[in-house]
Amino acid sequence: MWPDLVTLGSASNPITVHSYGLMVMLAFIASLGWVHARSGTVGLSQERVAVADLAAAVGGLFGAKLLYAITEADASSLTTLSSGFVWYGGVLGGLVAVVAVGLALRVDVWKLADVVAPALAMGAALGRLGCWFAGCCHGTPLPAGLPATPLLPEGTLHGQLYLHPSFPWLSNAFDGGVARWTHVPLFPTQLWQSVGSAVIATLLLAITSRRRFDGQVFAVWLLLDPILRTFVEAFRGDDRGLVVAWKGAAPAGLPGLGDATTQAGLVGVTTSQGIGLVLALAGLVILVVRRNAGVKPEIARSAWGDDLLDEV
């Protein structure tokens, strides 16, 4: 819809600010800002959490690039920051880094996980807006013949928004860029993911003050995010791999379950749906195993003041 925000510099040496990269950066800033602000209120050392924040950023970036390179068999994608990220790769890479650093610095990992969970949802809400601007992670074309009313004046953006009298009620089209289909209404999967993630973030914030045990908020995120992602994936039509596939055609009402690459005639479970299933099972295990763990006392820390630097 709007892949390039502005181009700076000279004609011979232009510097383009991409909407995708900007939204990813804002997602990181907002997420880490929330984690830092919230950590002090639950008694976590802000110095130690700041180190975990840095580890999350590095681990998340590495994980997102690595999983994309693996699923797309494209090692060259590791050398660019303008594209080539996988959301669950970033989540897994960031979580591994946070847990490792948290344990090393003796941070209460379960309390930290509850602080991180809403930040993950916030990051997804902002990050998917970047996907929408760039034209990636889009849906499949809508059924032919569905009435469509354009909402934007022609040429306003590099695409169009449409209203429909029935599901999905709102769609988008792209003029070019990285979209697999152009100039046709597509299911607005990026907007669904963004709005759905914002709703999940709101629910997690509501649960935070009412949680019965440390780790509960994180466990709920592990359950809700895969449900949303599985729904969205059922309508996606961009290139992505199938972790389990078999010959067949996608159901008429769930067109995204088919393979959108050159392997026509395959249907199955996408990589993200497979990872989501594992995460949801982990969430269930946490809810069962830790249901009687309780909430440890929390003494708010109003300012930086730790002995971390003395221990180094």
> What pLDDT sits at residue 166?
94
Q: 242 - beta bridge partners? A: 270
Quick one: which of 25, 298, 284, 215 has its CA closest to 33? 25
Residue 291 has pLDDT above 50, yes or no: yes
Position 299 in a domain? no
Domain range for 89: 16-140+187-294
**163 falls within a domain:** no
Kindly indicate the confidence band of residue 312, based on its pLDDT and cuts at 50, 70 and 90: very low
Helices (H), 42-79: 46-72
Q: Residue 94 domain-assigned?
A: yes
Asked whether residue 32 is domain-assigned, the answer is: yes
Say if 231 falls within a structural domain.
yes
Q: Distances in Å between the alpha carbon of 13 and those of 8, 21, 22, 145, 287? A: 9, 19, 20, 46, 54
- For residues 238 and 138, the answer to whether their CB atoms sit within 8 Å is yes
- Does any domain span residue 255? yes
In angstroms, the Cα distances linking 88 to 38, 200, 213, 254 are 23, 16, 26, 22
Predicted TM-score (pTM) of the model is 0.87
Q: Reduced to 3 states, what is the DSSP secondary structure of residue 269? A: strand
DSSP character for 77? G
C-alpha closest to that of 309 among 107, 49, 47? 47
Name the domain count of the chain: 1
The residues pairing with 150 across neighbouring beta strands, listed in sequence order, are 162
Do residues 85 and 24 touch, judged by C-beta distance below 8 A? yes
Asked, for residue 93, whether it belongs to a domain, the answer is yes
Specify whether the CB–CB gap between 149 and 195 falls below 8 A: no
> Is 310 within the bounds of a domain?
no
The string of pLDDT tens digits covering residues 259-272 is 666 556 778 888 88
pLDDT in tens, 151-210: 998 877 889 999 999 999 999 999 877 888 999 999 999 999 999 999 999 999 999 989
* pLDDT per position as a tens digit, 189-203: 999 999 999 999 999
Please give the pLDDT value at position 75. 72
Q: What percent of the chain has pLDDT over 70?
A: 85
Residues 264-292: what's their mean pLDDT? 90
